[in-house]
Amino acid sequence: MIRQAAYAVEPWCVREQSLDLDTLAQSESVFALSNGHIGLRGNLEEGEPHGLPGTYLNSVYELRPLPYAEAGYGYPESGQTVINITNGKVIRLLVEDEPFDVRYGELRSHERALDFRAGTLTRNVEWTSPAGDSVRVRTVRLVSLVQRGVAAIRYEVEAVNRPVRIVVQSELVANESLPDLGKDPRVAGRLENPLVGEESVADKDTAVLVHRTRHSGLRIAAAMGHEIDGPECTITSDDFEDVCRYTIATRLQQGQRLCLVKYLAYGWSSQRSRPAVHDQVIAALAAAKMTGWDGLVREQRQFLDDFWAGADVEVEGDAEVQQAVRFGLFHTLQAGARAERRPIPAKGLTGPGYDGHTFWDTETFVLPLLTYTRPEAAADALRWRHATLDLAKERAEQLGLRGAAFPWRTIAGQECSGYWPAGTAAFHINADIADAVIRYADATADEDFTRDVGLDILVETARLWRSLGHHNAKGRFRIDGVTGPDEYSALADNNVYTNLMAQRNFRAAADLAEEYPEQARRMGVTEEETASWRDAANAIVIPYDKRLEVHPQSEGFTHHARWDFDDTPPDHYPLLLHYPYFDIYRKQVVKQADLVLALHLRGDAFTDDEKLRDFVYYEGLTVRDSSLSACTQAVMAAETGHLELAHDYIGEAALMDLRDLEHNTRDGLHIASLAGTWTALVAGLGGMRQYTTRLTFAPRLPPGLSRLAFRMRFRGRRLKVTIGHDATVYELLGGDPLEIDHYGEPVRLDGGAVRVAVPPFPSRPSPPQPPGREPARRDKTTR
């Protein structure tokens, strides 16, 4: 049984009040700091003990061969794996003769707190050495959201019970040894000593380590500098190939403190020379020092104040969800804030899980949140996809297709999936990217993006779909042999989600080509081509099971045997670790929302009755062995009137990492599930949809909540929506007047708050889930 850490429930903070060594790796993920460019896991400053040391730079990866027992044409030969780069977090402490190590002596108190408004991780420790010397150590750590290449740590040590001689060692360490993570396929491959030293200097002020990766040929520089405040001390420096170290020795009287501010700067490049990346980190360090510690802290808070002003969510009646949704918003912001034309990995920069790869999670689960709260970060992520368009076109050609085929999993744009039925065949990622483009364009009216980036992506993905599908003898457009979102099925015909998303892709591409005729012409788009997209969209096959009156996930799905849930022991989940794909694929069992995700994202393509019947049907089959499910089930539970169930699923999505529900938070946070919590609240309970350029709401509150309020950005405005059981208040916090829909009725917002009644709606009892797979109940009193 994997234990899980216990965090205090506070609205703006995750606080750990004592140190549990068994859950150290989980806490390292939860307490990770990042700005989307630099990622620091919440490792203790003294380096040990650790769960998993982790310092990451977005897109710094190493190549490793992908082996196959039986090779096949078009299989990728090498994969990209995120690597643990130079660790600048290390500050060791010697108290008299004794290294400060929480495993020895007496740990009198140990508290860590991640503050969502300050953007800092603080740590307060009181420790008595085996020899009886007590010290207080207080650290504050930040990764700057304002200065992209900069992180900093304020480290303070105080003599508590008597004078002590102390030595502080502040380091940069490359090629740390990493623990073996076992065989779970969701864990990253481990690479030994991926970095080759190129330069190591530590002068009086500044130390720099430059390394490069062995195979991927990336050059990485890390620099550190310090400010010291306290009694007189002696300072020495060392530099070795993989280590730079400053050693600060002093004597503290009882109650006296030594305070060290450590500035860190990181940079990397696949092209620039060693001197260039060296100079880059020295420059970033100079800027950080000029700003100073207080300045960095102030900048950080201002950045976050601005973010929360357009993003905060208030949840009354469920303090855990209140904390978790802000935790999720904070980490999603950290993952994407400064990624800047680099990918947003499934785990952000919080751990090495899934090899640091980016999947469809980004576009489908993360970007909706960013689109409506920090649109510039959404644009950056899509511009990254656009930057890989040529690679995607090459891949399409290799697969015998037209247009662009984006990779199922990647860091730098090349396909890194070593199992094609759940990789190459999951073509829906292309429609997911297109969908994110459409959503961003409609939600921001960002013309430059739409013309320069959006059009390219939509046209090339529409071309892909056109060549991937074909018309049958009856003139219907089929897309055969693909894998939909549910990873417990593969290689099926006419996956409803895929076909409906391709339909949206086709139509949006045709619309945009007509809107920007000159650009479209330059891409070779003709009227014949746009007409063929519209024809395919209109003729696309959407299978329907008339007997059951539900949509099969894919053609034939409802004819398959149901999984034998009754004979599946509770410890046999996730199924993929206990049953062969052969068995899983051929039966009715759903890992994660697939048809139900179509009900959400293409809700315009279903009637209310269909939504209800489909939702209930798939509830009985969905085991949620993926973190990408509960949030979508929450949305559709809410829309179909299962409000308590919606609340339950919101809880599950929200607490995925704070409660380690999938037992793998140690490898990194589930950014998509964290972002999905926002979607579950805003699109679920808020009923927010945007199928066109118009924003619509259909708010409804479960019995367990008394009030839900959220802020969002939309086409240059800031809005606030406050939902009660009887009425909803819409407020325009900034920007031009706007008309929205409330339950299908237009509501005009031009300054003040507008209060409108919430119509009564059915509250339905939960449909059955597979035995043992029901979500934990949020509101136990009401059932």
Classify burial at 757, counting beta carbons within 10 Å of its beta carbon; exposed 0-12, middle 13-18, buried 19 or more: exposed
Spatial separation of the C-alpha atoms in residues 777 and 516, rounded to whole Å: 50
Shortest distance in whole angstroms from residue 416 CB to a copy of itself = 9
User: What is the DSSP-derived secondary structure letter of residue 782?
Assistant: G
Residues 139 and 123 sit within 8 Å (Cβ to Cβ): yes
Spatial separation of the C-alpha atoms in residues 285 and 209, rounded to whole Å: 13
Pair of tokens at residue 445: 């009216």
> At residue 192, what are phi and psi to the nearest 5 degrees?
-85, 135
* Amino acid sitting at position 731: E
Shortest distance in whole angstroms from residue 546 CB to a copy of itself = 12
Question: Which residues are catalytic, by number?
Answer: 487
DSSP output for 448-492:
HHIIIIIHHHHHHHHHHHHHH-EE-TTS-EE--SB--S-TTS-SB
- Residue 13 CB contacts under 8 Å (≥ 6 apart), including other chains: 113, 114, 115, 116, 323
Chain centre to alpha carbon of residue 7: 21
Shortest distance in whole angstroms from residue 105 CB to a copy of itself = 43
Q: Which is nearer to a copy of itself, 1 or 71 (CB)?
A: 71
Q: Which is nearer to a copy of itself, 27 or 216 (CB)?
A: 216
Q: Which is nearer to a copy of itself, 74 or 132 (CB)?
A: 74
Q: Which is nearer to a copy of itself, 70 or 232 (CB)?
A: 70
Q: Which is nearer to a copy of itself, 522 or 559 (CB)?
A: 559
As a three-state string, the secondary structure of 9-25 is EECCEEEECCCCHHHHH
Site residues, a copy of itself (CB under 8 A): 66-76, 79, 183, 185, 398-401, 417-422, 424-425, 470, 472-473, 478, 480-482, 490-491, 493, 547, 555-556, 559-561, 576-583, 585-587
Q: Residue 581 in 3-state DSSP?
A: helix
Shortest distance in whole angstroms from residue 98 CB to a copy of itself = 44
Residues 749 and 353 sit within 8 Å (Cβ to Cβ): no
Q: Which is nearer to a copy of itself, 467 or 519 (CB)?
A: 467
Shortest distance in whole angstroms from residue 556 CB to a copy of itself = 6
Spatial separation of the C-alpha atoms in residues 275 and 288, rounded to whole Å: 20
Shortest distance in whole angstroms from residue 63 CB to a copy of itself = 13
Strand order across the 55-57 sheet:
33-34, 38-40, 55-57
Q: Which is nearer to a copy of itself, 67 or 570 (CB)?
A: 67
* Amino acid sitting at position 66: L
Shortest distance in whole angstroms from residue 773 CB to a copy of itself = 18
What angle, 0 to 180 degrees and rounded to 10, lies between the N-to-C axes of helices 375-387 and 428-444? 140
Q: Which is nearer to a copy of itself, 481 or 620 (CB)?
A: 481
Shortest distance in whole angstroms from residue 588 CB to a copy of itself = 10
User: What is the DSSP-derived secondary structure letter of residue 769?
Assistant: P
Classify burial at 12, counting beta carbons within 10 Å of its beta carbon; exposed 0-12, middle 13-18, buried 19 or more: middle
Spatial separation of the C-alpha atoms in residues 231 and 269, rounded to whole Å: 40
- Phi/psi zone of residue 484: left (φ > 0), alpha (ψ -120 to 50 degrees), beta? beta
Chain centre to alpha carbon of residue 641: 29
